[in-house]
Amino acid sequence: MEPRSDQVNLPLTHMKLHKHSVSGVALIIVLGFLVIISALAVAFFSSVNTELKASRNFAAGVTTRQLADSAVQIVMGQIAAATTRGVDSQTGGTGQGNEAWASQPGMIRVYGKNQGSGSTASASADAFYKLYSSNQMILTADAGLPTFKTGTYSDPKGDAYVGWDQAPALWADLNAPVLVRDPVSHQPVPRFPIIDPRAYASTVDTTTPWSDTKWAGNVEGFTYDSAAVHGIVGPGDPNNQRLPMPVRWIYVLQDGTLTMPSDTGTITADFSTNTSDKIPTSKNPIVGRIAFWTDDETCKLNLNTAAGFNADPKKLPTLAYQQNPSSFAGSFWDTPRFYTQFDYGIPDATGQPQSGQTSGGLALCQLLQNEFQRYPGHPATTSLAPVLNNLLTSEQFYAVVPRYSNLNLQGTPASTVGGTQRIIVDPVNTPGDLDNKELQPKQDRLFASVDEFIFGPHVKTGNFASPTYARTNVNSYNQFAGNPITPDVIDKLRFFVTTQSRAPELNLYGQPRVTCWPIRSETSLETTGLNVFDNLMLFCSTVGASAVSTGARPDTKTDATSTGVYRYIFTRREVVASNLSSISHTDLLGGPSYSQWEFSTSYVPDSELPSIQTPGRNKKLLANYLGGTTGLLSRPIPGVGRNSPTRVIAPPINRGF
């Protein structure tokens, strides 16, 4: 660019300067805009990002809950399949199957009617329904059962693999403790989610007489083998005791598929050998994994219903009893049948058991009214001793449990003390005995959770006349020396006790039991003449709710399929004059003829009354439910190992009805 000679130089310089400044402004403006726009964009995106994070957190919470629910669903499915297997599988869902089930923590076993012997007889289980996460949830004779039965700890395919801790991709320890600071000692102590291994202590002192302060820490019969799988630490330092419960991880894919890696991958899950629909892909990735194990409350001691007698020798009344605990009844009563000391006991001149020796017996020390802890078959005969053995005496059990007692209204012991004492209630010579000396059942609140056991009884023992509300007295156990029940102890007992243990009361065929307690029929003259026990029996023997019934007695007149009410109890009518007539008979031995009152010929038994039911419920129970070609009596008994379905003539009770 050469300047023309006729032009002055000055403007050129000006021009140059001018041009420079203009270009700069444009750049600055453009850059400025860029900055503003990008700031806006960044601000916007960062806000979006926060939102995204918030919603992602929420979604994660939902997903976790869904995963937990899926474990519950699996278990519910397993339980349903196991308990209805006997009903549906065998003969095309007609409810005529022959399989019985039994539950335990973590598993339901199903027993069939197989012929054969040894492990193929029906006395050994047909199928195992696992209630914990495993690579084979159901084991049957044709699928996996043989491996399960012969499974060894060293077999990685089994459910108890000794080296589980080296394969974190496959195994999870459900009983891994959490270390927390003890609220009192401020030392770190382990807390276990399922089972506290400290309930097993090898150092039980059996020689020292029982004292309030000593607890060996042992739950009777609870033990584990330190060498079984890795990680188990047996008795020693209690805070170091460990009891891993390894179960397998089940991996959950995005579309809900549950899958499991093969045993080859230990640190990294290896799905390569799976079928194509069970392999995680980028489109169907793993979204979570679950591991679970299911407890069974029906296998535990129920603090609300059990009581029993503590037969620990150290706690028996005299040295003689301590040395020979087998010569008294303990936690049950039965009719004396034989001439043994156990049956008759040894009375002294006053009729009491002779002192200083084992003289109690079934005949001498008969149970009293309301001494439920000795009622044969009553839940109260179930003894709490296995868990509370070293903590409380029998008498203290009754002070702690909510419904049973060994005290009378004077607050003095009035029970037979497990069949070692004789209680004489004599209203003739001592008026008032019946009112005052009778054993009184408690009406305390039931424990709603195991932890509630710490508060003990609310109706204070001792003088019943002025019971005090005791929950506010923080330690209800201070009535016992040495404060035997502490939160620490309850932690150890938690796996063995429960407060709810409801279980279905079914016979071996999965059907309701028939109650052997005939009640007055609704066609009898006095239909309301049921005592409270009849009512209870009727209530317990009736299946299904009636929308129309309002009273305590189910309306058996409408007892039919249409109302959904089924009664499993027999009814009877009382013998009244209107049903009888005097009928004349000839004496078979040639004597004069005689008359006697008998049912008139027009009398129709309840079971045949068409107006009530066609046929009557009694007849239905007898002819269709118990008898007949499809009745229970003509079906083989599952789980008993009988070779052929021979009909057995036996009282139904022996056959588990």
Partner 1 sequence: MKSSPRVSAGFTLVELMVSTAIIGLIMLVLVQMTNQTSQTWRSTAEKIEKFQQARDGFESMTRRLSQATLNTNWDYLDASGAPRDKNVGSTAFVKFVPIYYGRTSDLRFVSGPMKSSAFSLDGKIVRPGHGVFFQAPFGLATTTDYAAMDNLLNTWGYFVEAGNDPNRPDFVDKAGVPARWRSRLMEYMLPTEQMSLYDKADNSYTWYTLHLNDATNRPVRVLAENVITLIILPKLSKPDEDARTRAQTPQAAMLSPKYIYDSFPIAPATLNPGASGGTDPGMIMPKNQLPPILTVTMVALDERSAQRLADTYCHNVEMTSQSVHGNQRVTGSASEMVMGLDVAAGKVTPAVTYANLFTDATRLEDDPNTQTPGDGDLYDLERILVHEKLTYRVFTSNVSIRGAKWSRVQTK
* Residue among 493, 420, 482, 414 at smallest CA distance from 450: 493
**Residues 329 and 342: beta-carbon distance below 8 Å:** yes
Task: Please pick, from the candidates 117, 449, 527, 600, the single residue that binds partner 1 as defined by CB under 8 A.
Answer: 449
Return the number of the residue (546 or 581) whose C-beta is nearest partner 1.
546
Task: Please pick, from the candidates 113, 458, 617, 620, the single residue that binds partner 1 as defined by CB under 8 A.
Answer: 458
Question: How far is CA 247 from each of CA 229, 286, 344, 493, 627, rounded to the nearest angstrom?
Answer: 12, 19, 53, 23, 46
Return the number of the residue (445 or 642) whose C-beta is nearest partner 1.
445
Return the number of the residue (80 or 576) whose C-beta is nearest partner 1.
80
* Residue among 504, 611, 512, 515 at smallest CA distance from 558: 611
Per-residue tokens: 477 = 């156990």
Q: How far is the CB of 604 from partner 1 (least distance, A)?
A: 30
373: helix, coil or strand?
Answer: helix
Residues 50 and 54: their CA atoms lie apart, in Å, by: 6
Return the number of the residue (144 or 217) whose C-beta is nearest partner 1.
217
Among 32-40, 201-209, 214-222, 566-574, which window interacts with partner 1 (CB under 8 A)?
A: 32-40
Among 36-44, 152-160, 385-393, 574-582, which window interacts with partner 1 (CB under 8 A)?
A: 36-44
Question: How far is CA 427 from each of CA 227, 371, 424, 438, rounded to the nearest angstrom?
Answer: 63, 19, 10, 11
Please report whether residue 176 would count as binding partner 1 according to CB under 8 A. no
Return the number of the residue (16 or 647) whose C-beta is nearest partner 1.
16
* Cβ-based burial of 123 (10 A; exposed 0-12, middle 13-18, buried ≥19): middle
* Cβ-based burial of 406 (10 A; exposed 0-12, middle 13-18, buried ≥19): buried
List, in sequence order, every residue forming a beta bridge with 543; answer none if it has no partner: 566
Radius of gyration of the chain (CA): 38
Task: Please pick, from the candidates 81, 459, 626, 640, the single residue that binds partner 1 as defined by CB under 8 A.
Answer: 459
Task: Please pick, from the candidates 52, 72, 180, 583, the single residue that binds partner 1 as defined by CB under 8 A.
Answer: 180
Return the number of the residue (15 or 516) whose C-beta is nearest partner 1.
15
Binding mask 352-391 for partner 1 (x = CB under 8 A): ----------------------------------------
Binding mask 301-340 for partner 1 (x = CB under 8 A): ---x------------------------------------
Question: What do you get for the CA distance between the two ends of the chain, in Å?
Answer: 119
Q: How many helices (H) and strands (E) does the chain have?
A: 10, 19
Residues 372 and 380: their CA atoms lie apart, in Å, by: 6
Task: Please pick, from the candidates 13, 24, 28, 29, the single residue that binds partner 1 as defined by CB under 8 A.
Answer: 29
Return the number of the residue (408 or 420) whose C-beta is nearest partner 1.
408
- DSSP codes of every residue in 77-89: HHHHHHHHHHHHT
Strands (E) across 205-262 are located at: 246-248, 250-253, 258-259
The residue written with tokens 């009410």 in the block is 565
Return the number of the residue (546 or 634) whose C-beta is nearest partner 1.
546
Residues 624 and 617: their CA atoms lie apart, in Å, by: 10
Per-residue tokens: 561 = 């399929």
Per-residue tokens: 278 = 């069970």
Task: Please pick, from the candidates 28, 44, 57, 80, the single residue that binds partner 1 as defined by CB under 8 A.
Answer: 44
Window 410-439: residues binding partner 1 (CB under 8 A): 435
Window 587-616: residues binding partner 1 (CB under 8 A): none
Return the number of the residue (268 or 466) whose C-beta is nearest partner 1.
466
Q: How far is the CB of 411 from partner 1 (least distance, A)?
A: 9
* Residue among 258, 283, 280, 257 at smallest CA distance from 269: 280
Q: How far is the CB of 516 from partner 1 (least distance, A)?
A: 18
Q: How far is the CB of 419 from partner 1 (least distance, A)?
A: 24
In the DSSP assignment, the letter for residue 452 is G
Binding-site size, partner 1 (CB under 8 A): 64
The residue written with tokens 């001018």 in the block is 18
Residues 576 and 578: their CA atoms lie apart, in Å, by: 6
Task: Please pick, from the candidates 491, 498, 521, 567, the single residue that binds partner 1 as defined by CB under 8 A.
Answer: 491
Please report whether residue 27 would count as binding partner 1 according to CB under 8 A. no
Return the number of the residue (259 or 302) whose C-beta is nearest partner 1.
302
Task: Please pick, from the candidates 115, 366, 486, 563, the single residue that binds partner 1 as defined by CB under 8 A.
Answer: 486
| C-alpha angle 241-456-385 in degrees, rounded to nearest 5 | 55
Return the number of the residue (487 or 628) whose C-beta is nearest partner 1.
487
Q: How far is the CB of 585 from partner 1 (least distance, A)?
A: 44
Q: How far is the CB of 458 from partner 1 (least distance, A)?
A: 5
Window 80-139: residues binding partner 1 (CB under 8 A): none
Contacts of 524 (CB under 8 A, 6+ apart): 572, 573, 574
Q: Is 390 left (phi over 0), alpha (psi -120 to 50) or beta?
A: alpha
Task: Please pick, from the candidates 60, 76, 184, 363, the single residue that binds partner 1 as defined by CB under 8 A.
Answer: 184
Return the number of the residue (533 or 594) whose C-beta is nearest partner 1.
533
Q: How far is the CB of 380 from partner 1 (least distance, A)?
A: 14
Task: Please pick, from the candidates 15, 363, 604, 653, the single residue that binds partner 1 as defined by CB under 8 A.
Answer: 15
**Residues 198 and 215: beta-carbon distance below 8 Å:** no
Strand 542-543 and strand 566-567: the pairing is antiparallel
Window 519-578: residues binding partner 1 (CB under 8 A): 532, 535-536, 539, 545-550, 552
Return the number of the residue (86 or 217) whose C-beta is nearest partner 1.
217
| C-alpha angle 566-567-572 in degrees, rounded to nearest 5 | 150
Among 198-206, 292-300, 356-364, 466-474, which window interacts with partner 1 (CB under 8 A)?
A: 466-474
In the DSSP assignment, the letter for residue 624 is I
Q: How far is the CB of 64 from partner 1 (least distance, A)?
A: 14
Among 40-48, 67-75, 268-276, 315-323, which window interacts with partner 1 (CB under 8 A)?
A: 40-48
The residue written with tokens 């806000």 in the block is 47
Q: How far is the CB of 543 from partner 1 (least distance, A)?
A: 11
**Residues 311 and 330: beta-carbon distance below 8 Å:** yes
- Interacting residues with partner 1 (CB under 8 A): 1, 15-16, 18-19, 22, 29, 33, 36-37, 40, 43-44, 47, 50-51, 54, 180, 182-184, 191, 304, 405, 409, 435, 440, 442-446, 448-452, 454, 458-459, 464-465, 467, 469, 471-472, 474, 486-487, 490-491, 499-500, 532, 535-536, 539, 545-550, 552
